[in-house]
Amino acid sequence: MARKLTAAQATIEFLKRQYVARDGVERPFFGGCFGIFGHGNVAGLGEALLEHADFPYYLCRNEQAMVHTAIGFAKVSNRLRALCCTTSIGPGATNMVTGAATATVNRLPVLLLPGDIFARRNVAPVLQQLEGPNTQDISVNDCFKPVSRYWDRISRPEQLITSLPEAMRVLTSPADTGAVTIAMPQDVQAEAFDYPEELFEKRVWNIPRPRGDASALQVAAARIRASRQPLLIAGGGVIYSQASEALSRFAAQTGIPVAETQAGKGSLCYDHPQEVGAIGVTGTPGANILAREADLVIGVGTRYSDFTTASKTAFQNPAVRFININVAEFDAYKHSALPLVADARVALEELAAAVRGYRVSAEYQERITRFRAEWEQEVERIYNLRHGPPLSQGEVIGAVNRATGPRDVVVCAAGSLPGDLHKLWRTRDPNGYHLEYGYSCMGYEIAGGLGVKMADPSREVYVMVGDGSYLMMAQEIHTSVQEGCKLNIIVLDSHGFSSIGGLSRSVGCQGFGTEYRLRRDGHLDGEINPVDYVANAASLGAIAIGVRTHQELEEALARSRSNQRTTVVVVEVDPYHARVPSYESWWDVPVAEVSLLKTVQVARESYVEGRRRERYFL
């Protein structure tokens, strides 16, 4: 049996029938399709989406943003659901390249369907086509190749029959997932073909929980038993595998302290007795001191970014060894670790059984307990600074944390907020802390928050965003109003890039070019160039409230929570004083080796000193 459909209709018909199953629970994989139409998709995929009202279409304001929304959706769904995104050809398509990279870095599934130039070629160059004199076998969509986990171009309608299942294999693979790009030439989208009926039958993709090698597991258990100062690092893999309970039991049984990466924060509830906080550049003192001294590091679902390893300075014990539990072989082998290529939950359960009877020393446990108590005091201090106005960023985080419920989600991506949140946020749910810190893409925040809300409307979503990120991509407020997806957005106005300003000063560059100021005598150091964020947000349809004092902030947060429509609270924060410090860590940002500037020469000296502690783990 065959069904005559256009390539675009066949694509949507196929996507509708894709399901995933894990732990016996089955669900449809796709939640619908975001898009912006142009000549490259309006008559092809646009027509197909119009016909298939049961596959929802969402109109957004910017193509990059819709990929961020799809990322937020997939991340809070633990990669068990995804969205697809369709664009026209040319600029609409390449606007998604940054989003594709963000998805792939973070290993989150998104299906991108950019329109493409005519496969038929006879009318080329079409509007928005980038021609080349050396080949006709290329379009701007080739830009997606390095940022996609799977890439294909459909130049004949029947190619979908082999391409779409491959796309699903990659999207649902715990180890290989990321952006999948299927470029759809606009003429082919509208072409009909007799597709085999089987292509449109319901398919259930099992998300596996692979087990590690049995002998490697025994070696791992022996290493744990022999260790005196073990530390477990929980990465995003713990969350995606829904391994929090297994981790909690493992930590309680063994007494091994758990430090969390940005993607792994929330693996344990903040008040778990073995939770020692954030690790690395944006880490807390307990986690970083324990990392420095650890003789065994057990990395679970982490890819050891430089923020986690403090640019390879975090682990200073000469005898340190690593065990890496990861579904991705690539990550499991990092730091010459004993690799356990396995699902996090399964591996932690098996390891718990294999080390039964082992427990860290009472002295080690005492240190963990002390670090935890000292850190709680430090958080209280920062939450209650009562600085300003302008308020300190730390106390704004405290006020927002206090205003949230246990299942609410905080969303953030770039600037100084991620570091401060990593340290200070008290997470009570594995999906309650939503940081896009793989690509740390400014502009992710509001668009990503929309994806979170769409995936789970039962949760209140709190987007925390700096004024710089807000100005890059605030327009999805309008989409959130369209969809009735209420967000609580807190804009922290520091009149520019306070994070990069601080970084610039630390490398001797004096904050150059990082503040929103008017040009004066040829330099960007005139008066502050103000932005009315309240008016801006209101113009997009949000309820917008400007606050200055602590009390006004608390009242605005209470109002925001009870509002039905997206609410934006704008608060000025002090970019220079009462900043949250960094604790026991370092980040490699190379400083100019020669410079006429004294500030740079001084910074270079301490940079050279810091680099001495970078290690290879061979």
Could you say which of 498, 566, 567, 585 contacts ligand TPP (CB under 6 A)? Answer: 498
Contact 146, 215 (CB under 8 A): no
Rounded to whole angstroms, how far apart are CA atoms 506 and 603? 7
Give the number of other Cβ atoms within 10 Å of residue 23's Cβ.
8
Residue 497 touching ligand TPP (CB under 6 A): yes
- Min dist CB 490 to ligand TPP, Å, is 12
Closer residue to ligand TPP, CB minimum distance, 259 or 580: 580
Contact 262, 436 (CB under 8 A): no
Closer residue to ligand TPP, CB minimum distance, 15 or 441: 441
Closer residue to ligand TPP, CB minimum distance, 110 or 473: 473
Residue 467 touching ligand TPP (CB under 6 A): yes
Residue 62 touching ligand TPP (CB under 6 A): no
Q: Which two tokens stand for residue 169?
A: 């294999």
Residue 307 touching ligand TPP (CB under 6 A): no
Residue 230 touching ligand TPP (CB under 6 A): no
Contact 415, 497 (CB under 8 A): yes
- Min dist CB 70 to ligand TPP, Å, is 17
Question: Comparing C-alpha atoms, which of 58, 10, 13 is closest to residue 34?
Answer: 58
What does the angle CA 247 – CA 419 – CA 415 come to, to the nearest 5 degrees?
A: 135
According to DSSP H, which parts of 404-459 are helical?
417-424, 444-455
Contact 507, 604 (CB under 8 A): no
**Mask for 545-574, x = binds ligand TPP (CB under 6 A):** ------------------------------
Which span (119-127, 396-404, 434-442, 450-458) binds ligand TPP, by CB under 6 A?
Answer: 434-442
Which residue has 């100062």 as its token pair?
229
Closer residue to ligand TPP, CB minimum distance, 5 or 580: 580
Q: Which two tokens stand for residue 39?
A: 């000549």
Closer residue to ligand TPP, CB minimum distance, 480 or 494: 494
Closer residue to ligand TPP, CB minimum distance, 171 or 492: 492
Longest pairwise C-alpha distance within the chain: 78
Rounded to whole angstroms, how far apart are CA atoms 387 and 385? 5
Could you say which of 89, 171, 441, 509 contacts ligand TPP (CB under 6 A)? Answer: 441
Residue 178 touching ligand TPP (CB under 6 A): no
Rounded to whole angstroms, how far apart are CA atoms 379 and 118? 58
Interacting positions 66-95 with ligand TPP (CB under 6 A): none
Half-sphere exposure of 613 (CA within 13 A, CB side): 19
Closer residue to ligand TPP, CB minimum distance, 40 or 448: 448
Interacting positions 386-415 with ligand TPP (CB under 6 A): 414-415
Residue 416 touching ligand TPP (CB under 6 A): yes
Residue 494 touching ligand TPP (CB under 6 A): yes
Closer residue to ligand TPP, CB minimum distance, 298 or 441: 441
- Min dist CB 474 to ligand TPP, Å, is 11
Q: Which two tokens stand for residue 520?
A: 């004066």
In a 3-state reduction of DSSP, which class is residue 436?
A: coil
- Min dist CB 475 to ligand TPP, Å, is 15
- Min dist CB 221 to ligand TPP, Å, is 41
Q: Which two tokens stand for residue 397?
A: 């985080």
Strand partners, 180: 111, 150
- Min dist CB 467 to ligand TPP, Å, is 5
Identity of the residue numbered 444: Y
Distance of CA 433 to the CA centre of its chain: 10
> No. of H helices and E strands in the chain?
24, 23
- Min dist CB 573 to ligand TPP, Å, is 8
Closer residue to ligand TPP, CB minimum distance, 92 or 443: 443
- Min dist CB 437 to ligand TPP, Å, is 10
- Min dist CB 174 to ligand TPP, Å, is 27
Could you say which of 440, 479, 567, 585 contacts ligand TPP (CB under 6 A)? Answer: 440
According to DSSP H, which parts of 473-514 are helical?
476-483, 498-506
DSSP letters of 242-289? T-HHHHHHHHHHH---EEE-TTTTTSS-TT-TTEEEE-STT--HHHHH
Cα–Cα separations (whole angstroms), residue 31 to 16, 35, 98, 343: 9, 13, 22, 25
- Min dist CB 418 to ligand TPP, Å, is 9
Give the number of other Cβ atoms within 10 Å of residue 523's Cβ.
10
DSSP 79: T
Closer residue to ligand TPP, CB minimum distance, 79 or 579: 579
**Mask for 442-461, x = binds ligand TPP (CB under 6 A):** xx------------------
- Min dist CB 278 to ligand TPP, Å, is 17
- Min dist CB 473 to ligand TPP, Å, is 9
Give the number of other Cβ atoms within 10 Å of residue 334's Cβ.
18
Closer residue to ligand TPP, CB minimum distance, 32 or 468: 468
Footprint of ligand TPP on this chain (CB under 6 A)?
Answer: 414-417, 440-443, 466-469, 494, 497-500
